Amino acid sequence: MTIKKKEHDTNFIVKNIFNEIRQKYTDLGNELLKKPEIIEAFANRDRDELLRLSTPIYKKLKEDNSYFNIMNFYTPDTHDFLRLNKPDLFGNNLQSFHKITVKANESKEIQSGIEVGEYGIYYRVIFPVFKDNKHIGAFEFGIDIKYLMSRLSILNLHTPLLLVSRESAEPIYKHNESADSYIGEFTNNYSFVKYSQSTEEKKSILDIADKRIINESSYIVNNDDAKYLIFRGYTLHDYKDSDIGYFVFMDEMDYYMDTIVVIRWISIIATILLVIIIVELIYKLINKYTAELTEQKDILDYQAHYDLLTGLSNRVLFNDRLEQAVEKAKRQDGRFALLFIDLDRFKQINDSLGHSVGDKVLQIIAKRLQSVVRKEDSISRLSGDEFTILIQDLKQVTDASFLAQKIISSLAEAINIENHTLYITSSIGISIFPNDGLDANNLLKYADAAMYKAKEEGRNNFQYYSSEMTEKAFERVVMEASIRKALDNNEFVVYYQPQVDGRTDKLVGMEALVRWLHPNVGLVFPDKFIPLAQETGLILAIDQWVMSSAMKQITKWYEMGLNPGILALNLSMRQLGQEGCVDKLGLMLKESGCRPEWLELEVTEGEIMKNPENAIDVLKKISNMGIELAVDDFGTGYSSLSYLKRLPIDKLKIDKSFVNGLPDDEEDVSIARAIIALAHSLKLSVIAEGVETKEQKEFLVENGCDFVQGYFYSKPIPSDEMEKILNDEQSLRASK
């Protein structure tokens, strides 16, 4: 029995949530498309590397939202190349299942919307992927529709239920035997599936709903149990704008039922009373849902302006407050300071201990920052480990330095998390209004430049902005762009420095070293670009290119009948910590034709000590492949002898800093002799790098050093010059 029909804009809330989901994952996808290493791995169809690079992103999104479970990569013909939730499942033709992905591949434009698939109903955002303007496939983010239902429940929209049309649900039942575990029963006339519903109450309500046409209006209906209900529907459309089902919302009206039953037996006056009651009810309902919409608006407003992890204002609110501070200072002829704070080496915490520990560290950092600033000052988290503080009404410029020092001291205190004791340092840049700039954008840019200056000065300090910093910041941006371009244009080259048996002057091997052959500048040495490459993460792509190129070159020399000896390659901690590092190394060997016994991988002592247990585990696997291992820069990393004993290494390399003073510096003499003796006692060979004089070479040989490397024999040289040496019977005569 229908008593009253009333228009109700329930879809306002639902559409807002859909818009929020679409915007969030569109932004995340656009950020992912800016990562050249991911695009490169996808373009090269390097599934292991793509899995390694994408897994941290996938895990972080899963931690942020348990309903997020799809991050997939597809080929242009819509075969699944990589499913992050099921990496072992790939190569399937999904054209008949994932029509929205087909649409994205064909249109080469971002597509988003709801799609019913074999494993349920998901909101999907699909991105076409390009490299050098060539379409190489697509990737997607997907979130279960149950996330929307959970959001509606949180917002107190009573009994948010989902009816899916029988036709739409067919793919789930047709292709998935376990569909009953997450798809509910059919309604009485089998026209809808009650998605994830279980209670008897919901069953009876939905059977009523099944008997009538559903639209985005409100009804008061009566079921068989004489319960009156407010029933509202919201039509659910898929990405093609086709109807696939409905969200329905119910509120019981038990309070009014006795009155309605009595009114059935009394006169016109009672009917008038009923009308008054219903009008009052409608008025209360309007107030109720107005409050719900207000609450929803407040939630969306909070999410738009505050960082959900730390509770601090986010970049959007920070930008607004910075603009307000500028306008206020201009009106009142005032002054304020902007502090840009970056945590030093925070990425190492995420990489070694995981993002959950990293998130807890950020929460503690936020609380410590709040404890040292005044109430009128504003703290924001811009992104990752970057924070800003606005110091209002600054009396003296030096006041900013007092706060900066307090922050450095506060953040440096030990943090204890999950049986780990961590020590965090910070680099802080400071810009002052109006001294350094009169607009918000420049003040932020200048504080950022000052922060990088603090890092250059050794970290764990603060720096005020100066005009020279802007030039350096610009140079950094240009340099980073140039490195990315160099990788794309194959501007890097491999140079080789001979390693020699000092007793016979015979070549026994060589170390591969990278150089940058810039088209305008010429030859660029590593100290000019490697530090920035390490900071930006580009070092991984450079290291892998060097390894692959050098392996192909030494294979070519062996095939020519030459004897280049052992090829020494540097293995960074970033590579060592890669998921699938050993498998990737095996793949490079296979693709280049290089034999394991031709290789020696050098790992610095300092890199090993960053995560010794992991290093030992991975190095054992590499050693089992037949590849020799050496500890580079030995004596500088403060390693424990117990770790050294456990490492599966074949050689120690004496650092150049201990060779420089030979044979006159007593300390260098003692250290060099101790390293040689230690190595031989452990049945390891020894090589010294940085040998530049005859006296250094003779001292090392006389004291039992097996091999030497340095300018005394040869500087690093390109492959064609090395080939001439190899053709000269592997004998090097130094320019003594």
pLDDT digits (tens, 9 = 90+) for 248-274: 555 444 434 444 444 444 444 444 455
What is the mean predicted confidence (pLDDT) over 280-292?
59
Q: Could you give the CA distance from residue 640 to residue 182 in angstroms, rounded to a whole number?
A: 54
Per-residue pLDDT at 275: 52
What are the start-end ranges of the H helices in 68-162? 99-107, 146-154
- Summarised one tens digit per residue, pLDDT across range 150-208 is 766 655 444 555 555 555 555 554 544 444 444 454 444 444 444 544 444 444 444 44
Residues 6+ apart with CB under 8 A from 213: none
Confirm if 51 and 84 have CB atoms less than 8 A apart. yes
Characterize the bridge pairing of strands 426-433 and 336-343.
Answer: antiparallel
* Distance separating alpha carbons of residues 428 and 451, to the nearest angstrom: 5
**CB-based contacts of 716, cutoff 8 Å, min separation 6:** 495, 496, 497, 511, 513, 515
Buried b (16+ CB within 10 A) or exposed e, 354-372: ebebbbbbbebbbebbeeb
Amino acid at 706: D
Q: Terminal CA-to-CA distance of the chain, rounded, Å?
A: 108
Structure tokens at 322: 């910075």
Provide mean pLDDT across the span 565-584: 84
Q: At what angle do helices 398-411 and 355-372 cross, to 10 degrees?
A: 140
- 99-149 residue pLDDT tens: 788 888 888 888 888 777 666 778 888 999 998 888 999 989 988 877 776
Give residue 606's identity as a one-letter amino acid code.
G
**Interatomic CA distance for residues 510 and 163, integer angstroms:** 69
What the chain holds in terms of domains, given with CATH numbers, is 11-147 (3.30.450.20), 253-305 (no CATH), 315-465 (3.30.70.270), 480-726 (3.20.20.450)
| Distance (Å, whole) CA 666 – CA 668 | 6
pLDDT, position 311: 86
> Do residues 693 and 713 touch, judged by C-beta distance below 8 A?
no
Q: Angle at which helices 581-592 and 612-624 pack, to 10 degrees?
A: 30
Task: Check residues 23 and 551 and name the one with the higher pLDDT.
Answer: 551
Give the other-Cβ count within 10 Å of 549's Cβ: 17
**101 and 223 Cβ atoms separated by less than 8 Å:** no
CA within 13 Å, CB half, 483: 27
Q: Across all residues in the chain, what is the average pLDDT?
A: 78
Name which residue leads in pLDDT, 726 or 397: 726
- What's the one-letter identity of residue 709? Q
Higher pLDDT, 94 or 736: 94
pLDDT at 220: 40
H or E segment to which residue 59 belongs: helix 47-64
Nearest to 214 by CA among 162, 173, 288: 162
Q: Following DSSP, what letter does each residue of 428-474 receive, concatenated?
A: EEEEEETTT-SSHHHHHHHHHHHHHHHHHTTSSSEEE--HHHHHHHH
User: Residues with Cβ < 8 Å from 164, sequence gap 6 or more?
Assistant: 116, 121, 183, 192, 193, 195, 236, 244, 245
Q: Which residues of 141-180 are buried (b: 16+ CB within 10 A; e: fewer)?
A: bbbbbbbbbebbeeeebebbbbbbbbebbebbeeebeebe
- Predicted confidence at residue 121, as pLDDT, reads 77
Ramachandran assignment for 138, one of left (phi > 0), alpha (psi -120 to 50 degrees), beta (any other)? beta
- The fraction of the chain above a pLDDT of 70, given in percent, is 72
Of the pLDDT bands very low, low, confident and very high (cuts 50, 70, 90), residue 294 is low
Strand partners, 730: none
Amino acid at 116: V
pLDDT of residue 270: 46
The predicted structure's pLDDT at residue 189: 42
Which residues contact residue 33 at a Cβ distance below 8 angstroms, ignoring those fewer than 6 apart?
Answer: 39, 127, 129
Over residues 401-454, the pLDDT tens digits come to 889 999 999 998 999 988 888 889 999 999 999 988 889 988 998 999 899 888
- According to the model, what pLDDT value does residue 560 have? 93
